[in-house]
């Protein structure tokens, strides 16, 4: 078969193996799309933390469910980019939150919407597997209570302080505010503000502030009226600002606190008051508790300006699939341009030289090659033409002259003359080897 032709061969791969590879690849691609769509398959939201999706004692899932049952549009966000909406944003930072990051979130919303910050108090952990208790998913054990480390590091008007104290001996576990009153679930661990920059909304029996809003120069007539303050002059205050409601005692709002009807009613009233009478939704932030994630990549792929690239990719996939299914029969494998073996290699090389018309370039090298081989056969040290002629005459008196035939080869003008002279030189070597 000549070089460059094609031949029908058996498939290089087993069709069943190829089909299995395609099926595995398709399943892997679908699984990738699924995980991109649902987000990072890491730890779940009900992880025992103090945030709106947690169902442990220190979580706020009950508050979120209560507000949703009341008809509010409640959302749990894991995307930092959604914290700048005009809903009431409820922040539940942990003990080790970044004070600068928290300050930036609150300050960025002062002219966008209201913010409710619930301070952390409890140090909690998951119930050990060997504990003698039938625990549900996300349940925790409360070990100790303490003030958040970042509280006094907040910038500007947000800087404040709080303290956890055991006030059960003097009845300080009693609370009152907004027309409600009751007791705290843990009288021995009560946290309250120790700052004059917070306007009291809910206090304990010792008049310590459990819930309040920042006294930051903003005009908050709804809040002032609710706590019994005189109406302020709107011209002397910033009427464009939204309030920042702060909660020092989380047991009034967490799942631990929602077990009591009075505390649940108070939490509902504080949330409504923080909205300043506006019909807005409620958003619980989960990013500060380590549950943040970027925007869904699958949704992003079908959102401009990435939609155009996605459509081009889909069209390209359809074209490639169509071309693959249109092919019929086994693939045609191209034959080798140069066959295996020394003879074939020599023949192809000779054909190449002949086609290029460069045979005259081989005459002198070929004469030298024959001279080397004759000198070896005659036992000469050097391949000199005169010495070769003398040795030939002694061995074969009737042998033709090597020098004359070598000169004929070097002086050949055409391809035929060169081949005739080369054969004559070869005949001398063949005569000696006979």
Residues 264, 143 within the same domain: yes
Whole-number pLDDT of residue 9: 56
Residues 139, 29 within the same domain: no
Query: Which pLDDT band, with edges at 50, 70 and 90, does 267 fall under?
Result: very high
Checking if the pLDDT of 113 tops 70, the result is yes
Residues 330, 357 within the same domain: no
**Residue 109 half-sphere exposure, CB side, CA atoms within 13 Å?**
27
Query: Which pLDDT band, with edges at 50, 70 and 90, does 425 fall under?
Result: confident
Residues 186, 199 within the same domain: yes
Query: Which pLDDT band, with edges at 50, 70 and 90, does 5 fall under?
Result: very low
Most confident of 144-148, 277-281, 291-295, 413-417: 277-281
Checking if the pLDDT of 354 tops 80, the result is no
Residues 322, 348 within the same domain: no
> Residues 42-90: pLDDT tens digits?
556 777 788 999 998 999 999 999 999 999 999 999 888 788 889 999 9
Checking if the pLDDT of 314 tops 80, the result is yes
Instruction: Evaluate whether residue 388 is within a structural domain.
Output: yes
Residues 355, 326 within the same domain: no
What do you get for the CA distance between the two ends of the chain, in Å? 37
Which tops the pLDDT comparison, 389 or 332? Answer: 389
Instruction: Evaluate whether residue 235 is within a structural domain.
Output: yes
Which tops the pLDDT comparison, 3 or 154? Answer: 154
The lowest-confidence range among 125-134, 148-157, 189-198 is 125-134
Q: What are the start-end ranges of the E strands in 236-292?
A: 244-247, 282-285
User: Percentage of the chain with pLDDT > 90?
Assistant: 31
Checking if the pLDDT of 406 tops 60, the result is yes
Residues 69, 29 within the same domain: no
Distance (Å, rounded) from C-alpha 80 to C-alpha 109? 13
Residues 274, 356 within the same domain: no
Instruction: Evaluate whether residue 1 is within a structural domain.
Output: no
Which tops the pLDDT comparison, 94 or 335? Answer: 94
Residues 280, 381 within the same domain: no
Per the CB < 8 A criterion, the answer to whether 87 and 283 are in contact is yes
Look-up of token digits 């290029």: 356
CA–CA–CA angle 66, 68, 73 (5° rounding):
145
Distance (Å, rounded) from C-alpha 253 to C-alpha 66? 11
Question: If DSSP codes are grouped into helix, strand and coil, which group holds residue 430?
Answer: helix
Per the CB < 8 A criterion, the answer to whether 348 and 18 are in contact is no
Distance (Å, rounded) from C-alpha 222 to C-alpha 273? 7
Here the tokens at position 297 are: 């990549």
DSSP 230: P
Residues 212, 66 within the same domain: yes
Last residue of a domain, one of 295, 323, 351: 295
Instruction: Evaluate whether residue 280 is within a structural domain.
Output: yes
Sign of the dihedral through C-alpha 286, 287, 290, 294: positive
The lowest-confidence range among 212-216, 252-256, 289-293 is 289-293
Instruction: Evaluate whether residue 241 is within a structural domain.
Output: yes
What average pLDDT does this structure show over 4-32?
A: 72
Per the CB < 8 A criterion, the answer to whether 185 and 173 are in contact is no
Instruction: Evaluate whether residue 50 is within a structural domain.
Output: no
Which tops the pLDDT comparison, 341 or 251? Answer: 251
Residues 236, 150 within the same domain: yes
Checking if the pLDDT of 183 tops 70, the result is yes
Give the domain range for residue 416.
343-433
Whole-number pLDDT of residue 37: 66
Residues 90, 163 within the same domain: yes
Whole-number pLDDT of residue 12: 61
Whole-number pLDDT of residue 44: 66
Whole-number pLDDT of residue 6: 46
> Residues 114-132: pLDDT tens digits?
999 999 999 988 877 777 7
Instruction: Evaluate whether residue 53 is within a structural domain.
Output: no
Whole-number pLDDT of residue 297: 67
Which tops the pLDDT comparison, 303 or 242? Answer: 242
Checking if the pLDDT of 378 tops 90, the result is no
What average pLDDT does this structure show over 277-290?
A: 92
Per the CB < 8 A criterion, the answer to whether 263 and 252 are in contact is yes
Which tops the pLDDT comparison, 420 or 358? Answer: 420
Instruction: Evaluate whether residue 52 is within a structural domain.
Output: no
Per the CB < 8 A criterion, the answer to whether 91 and 287 are in contact is no
Query: Which pLDDT band, with edges at 50, 70 and 90, does 4 fall under?
Result: very low
**Element of type H or E holding 369:** helix 363-378
Number of domains in the chain: 3
Whole-number pLDDT of residue 243: 95
Whole-number pLDDT of residue 39: 58
């Amino acid at each position: 078969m000549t070089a460059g032709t094609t031949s029908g061969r058996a498939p290089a791969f087993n069709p069943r193996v190829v089909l299995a590879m395609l099926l595995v690849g398709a399943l892997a691609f679908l699984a990738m799309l699924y995980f991109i769509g649902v987000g990072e398959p890491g730890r779940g939201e009900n992880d025992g933390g103090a945030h709106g999706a947690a169902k442990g004692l220190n979580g706020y899932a009950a508050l979120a469910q209560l507000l949703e049952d009341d008809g509010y549009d409640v959302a749990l966000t894991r995307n930092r980019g959604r914290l700048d909406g005009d809903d009431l944003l409820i922040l539940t930072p942990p003990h080790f939150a970044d004070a600068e990051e928290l300050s930036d979130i609150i300050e960025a919303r002062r002219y966008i919407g209201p913010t409710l910050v619930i301070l952390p108090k409890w140090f909690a952990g998951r119930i050990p597997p060997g504990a003698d208790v039938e625990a549900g998913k996300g349940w925790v054990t409360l070990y100790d209570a303490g003030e958040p480390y970042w509280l006094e590091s907040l910038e500007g008007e947000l800087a404040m302080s709080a303290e956890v104290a055991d006030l059960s001996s003097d009845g300080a576990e009693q609370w009152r505010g907004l027309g409600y009153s009751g007791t705290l679930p843990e009288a021995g661990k009560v946290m309250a503000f120790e700052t004059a920059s917070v306007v009291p909304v809910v206090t304990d029996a010792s008049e310590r502030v459990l819930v309040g809003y920042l006294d930051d120069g903003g005009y908050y007539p709804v809040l002032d009226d609710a706590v019994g303050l005189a109406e302020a002059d709107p011209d002397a205050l910033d009427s464009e600002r939204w309030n920042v409601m702060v909660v020092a005692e989380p047991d009034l709002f967490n799942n631990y606190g929602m077990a009591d009807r009075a505390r649940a009613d108070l939490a509902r009233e504080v949330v409504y008051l923080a909205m300043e009478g506006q019909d807005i939704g409620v958003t619980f932030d989960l990013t500060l508790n380590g549950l943040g994630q970027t925007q869904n990549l699958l949704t992003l792929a079908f959102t401009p300006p990435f939609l155009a690239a996605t459509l081009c990719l889909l069209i390209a996939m359809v074209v490639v699939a169509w071309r693959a299914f249109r092919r019929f029969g086994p693939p045609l494998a191209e034959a080798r341009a140069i066959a295996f073996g020394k003879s074939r290699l020599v023949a192809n090389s000779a054909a190449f030289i002949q086609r290029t018309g460069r045979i005259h370039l081989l005459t002198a090298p070929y004469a030298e090659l024959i001279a080397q081989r004759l000198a070896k056969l005659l036992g000469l040290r050097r391949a000199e033409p005169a010495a070769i002629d003398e040795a030939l005459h002694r061995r074969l008196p009737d042998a033709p002259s090597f020098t004359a035939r070598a000169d004929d080869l070097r002086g050949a003008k055409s391809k035929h003359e060169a081949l005739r002279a080369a054969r004559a030189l070869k005949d001398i070597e063949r005569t000696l080897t006979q």
